[in-house]
Amino acid sequence: MCAMISSTVALLALTGGVRALVLDNNVGKLPALGWNSWNAYSCDVDEDKIMQAANYVVDLGLKDAGYEYINIDDCWSIKTGRDNDTHQIIPDTSKFPQGIKGVADKIHALGLKLGVYSSAGTTTCAGYPASIGYESVDAAAFAAWGVDYLKYDNCAVPTNWTDQYVACVPDSSDGSQFPNGTCPDSTVPADYDWSTSNTAERFRIMRDALLDQNRTILYSLCEWGQADVEVWGNATGTSWRMSGDITPDWARVAEILNENSFRLNSVDFWGHNDPDMLEVGNGNLTDAEARSHFALWAAMKSPLIIGTDLAKLSSDLVDVIKNPYLLAFSQDNVYGAPATPYKWGVNPDWAFNATNPAEFWSGQSSNGTLVLMLNTLDHDVEKEAVWSEIPGLDAGAEYKAIDVWSGKDMGNVKDCIKATVASHDTAIYLLQ
C-alpha cells in the first residue's frame, strides 16, 4: 500500500566526449544562482533598483541560500554610440552615476557578484550598442569594471554573419508545425556540423576575448537554442539558452519545460541548458505554478536567475526560491546530471506536447533520489510514484521519504507513494 505524503581555461572531456569550458575557482561548474533586472524592470533600470535588489538578496536570506549574481540586463549604456577614443560602450551616468564599476564595487562590498549584458550583433535587443566587432574592447572594459558575469544575447546579427542553414528549434505551442518535436521541412544535411556555423563562431569570439582578461567572467549564451547549440555550447560558455524568451504564464512555462525535457543529455558539471530566467512572482502565475516552475528548473540543473521585484515577492514565494532540498539538488558537487522524466503521465512516453509535458521525474543526488510528480491538468489528480518505475530504486524496498515542500519526514515507505496534486502543482519527495 502506498503512503500518502585570468581566467585559466581548460577543455575537459566529459560524459559522451562532450567538451566543456572550465574556469578558475569552480566558476560555472554548478548552475548559476542570481537575480536579473529584465523581467522586473525591462529598460527602466538604474543603480538604485540594482542596489535595492542586491540588498534584498542579502536581507531575505537569498545570499545565504547561495544566490550570488546581481545582473544588469539591457539598457545600461547610452544609446548614441561608443567613446570616440577608447571605442568602449559608455555607461549611462543618468542611470549609473558612477558607471558600471561604481555599481560593481558596491555589489562586491555586499559579498555578491555583478553581471552585465551585451549582444553578438550590432545592437542589443533594445537598440543599444552591442559587441560584434568590438569583442576584445568590451571584454577588457567588463574586466576593468569588475564584472563577473556576461549575458550575451543574439539580436541584430549582420547579414554577413547569418548561418547557411536554419536549425530545428521546435519552440511553438502549435504542435502541427513540429510533429513530435521534429522539423519535417528542414533542409539541413544530416551530417552538418553546427560547431562550424557563423552563430557558433560569433559566440566563440567573445569567449576568447573574455578568456584573454585577467578576471574570471561567467559566460552565459543567450542564443535562443539556435544553431544546434547543444553541440558546441558546452565548449563555448557555461550555459546556453535552449528556447526563445519565457513569459509569466503557465502555457509558456509548460512549453519550455516540454522542449527542455528532450535536451537534457547535454547537462552536467560545467555546462547547463538555460530555459530562461525565473518568472516566480510575475504575471498571472499561481503559487502552485510558481512552485512547479522553480522546482522543475532546479531539477533540470538550470541556472536559477530570479527575475522579479524582490520588494513585492510574497514570503511564501521567497520560501519557494530558498527551498533547501531543491537548491541542494541544483548545487550538488557530486552529481552533475539533472533529473529527467521516467514516465510522461498524461501522454505516452516520449510524446512531445507543449500543453502536457512529462509529469514524472527523478534524479540522483548526494542526499538521495529526488522524485517529482507534476500535474499538468486543470483539476486535482492523485499521483503515484512507484519504486519499480524509478531509475535507481529497488522494487519492494523501503525508503525514508521527505516531503520537499514541508520538510516533513514521512517515515519509511515501501513500494510507492501517493499524493493528491493540485492543478499545475508538483509533489516532490526525497527518498533516502
The residues assigned a catalytic role are 153, 245
What span, in angstroms and rounded, lies between the C-alpha atoms of 229 and 219?
14
Q: How many helices (H) and strands (E) does the chain have?
A: 11, 21
What span, in angstroms and rounded, lies between the C-alpha atoms of 69 and 54?
9
- Please name which of 361, 354, 337, 356 lies closest in space to residue 346, comparing C-alpha atoms: 356
* Widest Cα–Cα separation across the chain: 75
Handedness of CA 45, 46, 52, 58 (dihedral sign): positive
What end-to-end distance do the CA atoms of the chain give, in Å?
19
What span, in angstroms and rounded, lies between the C-alpha atoms of 432 and 429?
10
Q: In this structure, which amino acid lies at residue 311? A: A
- Please name which of 213, 332, 340, 326 lies closest in space to residue 273, comparing C-alpha atoms: 340
Cβ neighbours around 378 below 10 Å, total: 8
